[in-house]
A and B are shown apart, each in its own frame.
Chain A
């Protein structure tokens, strides 16, 4: 036989031997076990640790917030199960906004799954952000307005429930139509302006319930809740001494001597304290009030607020024709959503705010209310919601609204 043929045969047999041994030695035992694949890979894929832990996990430590969520509209959002005959989870849970819990509260990175350990020659190892030590799990919601508008901004194609808030009028509550799937939606420009949603809405239970105190104010840039110590109730007796300084303008019993200055009698303590703090910090400026507030301690503010809140208020007489016009305008402008104890949907006491954070309008003089609204309108006083509302009001509207609220019963 020729030598080159022998060489060729040797080469072929070497290849056959290598291929055959590779076939039996390098093969995974479990290949072909269940099919044309590695049987062991099934359990490896199933081994990975879940990162979404479910809202019930959060309850173990965050009982209070979990309670808010369970009883709120976000939990009940999709309870039309019976109609469609489909059992579904109700509403957005904790991890929808807060991102998956992973191994929270541990600070360690989660162990890598089999899948995550795969690297190839051409693809160098990179950490997925979720697996890094400073992983993206359990983020603090950074900008709560973006989070809320993910679901609640009005865009074509998004199934709607109830009316659109903020379309045409500045603030308008959303009525809930039970049984139709969809979400309440807002037109941002007309609803809250630049204000964060969380100023008025508790994200864990966003329907405004006027009996409850709203959440503490949040930082507009980071969206984080401002640190507030638990408010201690003020001492009205101690406040009487402080109130002596106020009496020259606001009267000893909280009824001001000049109708262009606000009456303090019967006002919410929360609003009085917040106003004094705003004057002290410079967030709100007034030639007379700023130096007055600068000298007050926190305890002084709480005490004097308690003193005036306990004082008896008195409604003033007002032009009946204007007041009637104002009543209609108040409904259209959405004033009642905050400044009526029942909100927009339920008839309540007009001018008596349901929340400690918002001022009562009943018991004020019409002149003061006019001054305040005009200040919001021309920008000399600023509040995200009130400034945008006031800009939609004409001079006649302002007079009518002032007359309506000045004449409303403050009891």
Chain B
């Protein structure tokens, strides 16, 4: 774009140069500036492409190569001396998450369970996982979307600790409606990790993107970088907050809390390296997609049964 705009300037100036010869130097200067900017842009772009090619892509199923922004020698160290978690080796798993939106009944048990399990602030503005409701009214071609962030969906008298979807469309003519649970996508190429200035958030070889709360300075750059709005600031701790698939549970052989309480089997979790795990079966038996694939983040949360308006 820089090059184009400077060329336009040159053509308009060509008309004027017939009168003033002294402007030739300015014209060539602008031309050089345009070329220089174009080259710089290309260099930055190429550098970015090279950087992102450095990790993640080769590691779709884990145990194959370095994760995002991990040097080969660091990956070798991760295999040789894995973190001391009893009975768990992080290079032997590749976790993934499935959401079967057809089943979701919007009971919000997952949201409350997550808040309890992970000591997330109880009010409606702080969530690691949440559920969105998409409602198409008769004669309207766009969806009305709401979630627990809407005050109406807070259970009356609960001081914003308990949530229930308000029956606001009771008397409306609804042509289509469904619920979509959302959570951190634990991307293969996480934007949040790329922008973190202190190394407080990182991609693990087994899948989840974790937050080291001791190193997090609460700058919220990651909150802005995430294309999915999955991150928020925990105003009690002053650190970033997001879903980590209950890393403390999955490393003990348990399901994440939201999967544990989901009464309908909407949320599916498992190890992609085990072909018989729930998630492997889910991916085999359903046609799934991910949110915002064009962002290039390569999410690890797979959705079945969502509409085109869900992003």
Interface-central residue, A113, A137, A157, by most chain B CB under 10 Å:
A157
User: Chain A residue with minimal CB distance to B218?
Assistant: A120
Contact between chains at B117 and A50 (CB < 8 Å)? yes
Contact between chains at B237 and A115 (CB < 8 Å)? yes
**Does chain A have a CB within 8 A of B96?**
no
**Does chain A have a CB within 8 A of B108?**
yes
**Does chain B have a CB within 8 A of A346?**
no
Known: A41-B214, A120-B218. A92 touches B248 (CB 8 A): no
Known: A34-B77, A157-B178. A123 touches B133 (CB 8 A): no
**Does chain B have a CB within 8 A of A51?**
yes
| A/B pair count, beta carbons within 8 Å | 224
Partner of B251, one of A46, A118, A153: A46
The interface size bin for chain B is 35 or more
Known: A37-B212, A128-B121, A131-B119. A181 touches B264 (CB 8 A): yes
Known: A34-B77, A86-B278, A118-B239. A52 touches B117 (CB 8 A): yes
User: Chain A residue with minimal CB distance to B84?
Assistant: A43
Contact between chains at A146 and B164 (CB < 8 Å)? yes
**Does chain A have a CB within 8 A of B249?**
yes
Give A72-109 as 1s and 0s: 1 = Cβ < 8 Å from B's Cβ atoms: 00000110010011111101110110011000000000
**Does chain A have a CB within 8 A of B191?**
no
User: Chain B residue with minimal CB distance to A38?
Assistant: B212
**Does chain B have a CB within 8 A of A134?**
no
A77 to B161, CA, bound (A): 27
**B62: shortest Cβ distance to chain A, in Å?**
14
User: Chain B residue with minimal CB distance to A120?
Assistant: B238
Partner of B278, one of A88, A99, A115, A131: A88
A364 to B285, CA, bound (A): 58
Interface residues of B (CB under 8 A from A): 67, 69-71, 74-75, 77-78, 81, 83-85, 88, 90, 100, 102-109, 112-113, 116-119, 121-122, 133-135, 155, 161, 164-165, 167, 169-170, 172, 174, 177-179, 199-204, 210-216, 218, 235-239, 244, 246-249, 251-252, 254-255, 257, 259-265, 268, 278, 281-282, 284-286
Contact between chains at A150 and B109 (CB < 8 Å)? yes
**Does chain B have a CB within 8 A of A116?**
yes
Partner of B74, one of A33, A48, A114, A155: A33
Contact between chains at B210 and A157 (CB < 8 Å)? no
**B165: shortest Cβ distance to chain A, in Å?**
6
**Does chain B have a CB within 8 A of A233?**
no
Q: Which residues of B contact A51 (CB under 8 A)?
A: 116-117, 257
User: Chain B residue with minimal CB distance to A28?
Assistant: B215
Q: Which residues of B contact A65 (CB under 8 A)?
A: none
Provide 27 A-B residue pairs closer than 8 Å at the C-beta atoms, listed in order of the A residue. A34-B70, A34-B78, A34-B202, A35-B74, A35-B202, A36-B202, A37-B200, A38-B199, A38-B215, A42-B90, A42-B204, A48-B248, A49-B248, A50-B249, A52-B257, A54-B260, A84-B286, A85-B285, A95-B261, A96-B109, A116-B119, A120-B239, A131-B119, A151-B263, A156-B135, A158-B179, A183-B264
Q: Which residues of B contact A130 (CB under 8 A)?
A: 116, 119
Known: A33-B74, A93-B261, A151-B263. A157 touches B106 (CB 8 A): yes
A158 to B266, CA, bound (A): 12
Contact between chains at B236 and A123 (CB < 8 Å)? yes
**Does chain B have a CB within 8 A of A129?**
yes
A136 to B119, CA, bound (A): 11
Q: Which residues of A contact B239 (CB under 8 A)?
A: 118, 120
Contact between chains at B260 and A182 (CB < 8 Å)? no
Give residues of chain A (35-71) contacting chain B, Cβ–Cβ below 8 Å. 35-52, 54
Contact between chains at B105 and A35 (CB < 8 Å)? no
User: Chain B residue with minimal CB distance to A119?
Assistant: B237
Partner of B165, one of A87, A93, A155: A155
Q: Which residues of A contact B100 (CB under 8 A)?
A: 84, 86
**B279: shortest Cβ distance to chain A, in Å?**
9
Contact between chains at B174 and A156 (CB < 8 Å)? yes
Give residues of chain A (362-407) contacting chain B, Cβ–Cβ below 8 Å. none
Q: Which residues of B contact A156 (CB under 8 A)?
A: 135, 169-170, 172, 174, 177
**Does chain B have a CB within 8 A of A258?**
no
